[in-house]
Copies of this chain bind each other. A is one copy, B any other.
Amino acid sequence: MPPEVRVIGIEGVPEIQPNDDLGGMLVDACHGQGTPLESGDVLVVTQKVISKAEGRVINLEGIEPSALALQISEGHRRDPRHTEMILRESRRIVRMDRGNIISETHHGFNCANAGIDASNIPGSDTICLLPVDSDASARVIKQVVKDRTGVDVAVIVSDTFGRPWRNAAANVAIGVAGMNPLLSYVGQEDVHGNMMYTTVIAVADELAATSELVTGKLLRVPAAIVRGYPYEPMEDASIQALVRDPDKDLFR
């Protein structure tokens, strides 16, 4: 049998409210659509629903933009209070040019607008921040799945980031639980006997990208099951393994 992986979108999840039991709702939705979670599944959950459940959708009323936020926003579409929140959610500005802000979040992710956006949330004056600790978000969901179904899954929190050099955005992983987010071939020999010295694959990012094929942006499919991928289980997994050491980064 050829190697095969299935990617199954999870439908039927209601609009998420703060403090909702997102993990439990995903378990129910999987069951309801006839694809209950199985041991070894990777459950990829989009950041937006996690942020909603964790109360990270905030109203801009009462946010006081700084002088810098006002200045950056001038002549651009973004509300200065939204810009203010980008600055507050950043620990370092990487580039700030032509209305764009590329910054490093408190987690260490380099991305546009500190991962804040205003799509797929209700209200015109609301924005959505990244989870405070997206590894913890993944761990909570993993534990709920275990408690509710007895099944061991890996969980990835996905978000859609732009990249330097290449047009358009693609999904990456911003949180992980239960699996090694990296797959290293270092020290192994290929079929021709060549030693592989440096090859390490960011499988968590590839799994996040895979899930986007079924979640999309408009389909009310906030999560996906990736079934059949033989990940390496890891108890103390962290997405920090994907954050490049500043000393080794040529593009800060």
Contacts and interface: CB of A to CB of B under 8 A. Distances in A.
A203 B121 CA distance: 23
B243 A218 contact: no
A10 interface: yes
Nearest to A226: B213
Interface residues of A, number: 74
A67 interface: no
Contacts of A220: 191
A4 B167 contact: no
A48 to B, nearest CB: 10
Contact of A169 (B201, B245, B251): B201
A205 interface: yes
A62 interface: no
A190 interface: yes
A11 interface: yes
Interface string A59-79: 000000000000000000100
Interface stretch (A131-139, A143-151, A157-165): A157-165
A76 B192 CA distance: 23
A123 to B, nearest CB: 8
Interface stretch (A16-24, A80-88, A95-103): A95-103
A200 interface: yes
A185 to B, nearest CB: 5
A182 interface: yes
Contacts of A237: none
Interface in A216-234: 217-221, 226, 229
A124 B210 CA distance: 35
Given A5-B6, A119-B190, A168-B205, 9 more contacts: A3-B8, A5-B210, A109-B165, A160-B199, A166-B244, A167-B242, A169-B199, A169-B200, A206-B212
9 contacts: A97-B250, A109-B165, A110-B166, A165-B244, A170-B202, A185-B218, A191-B220, A203-B213, A210-B210
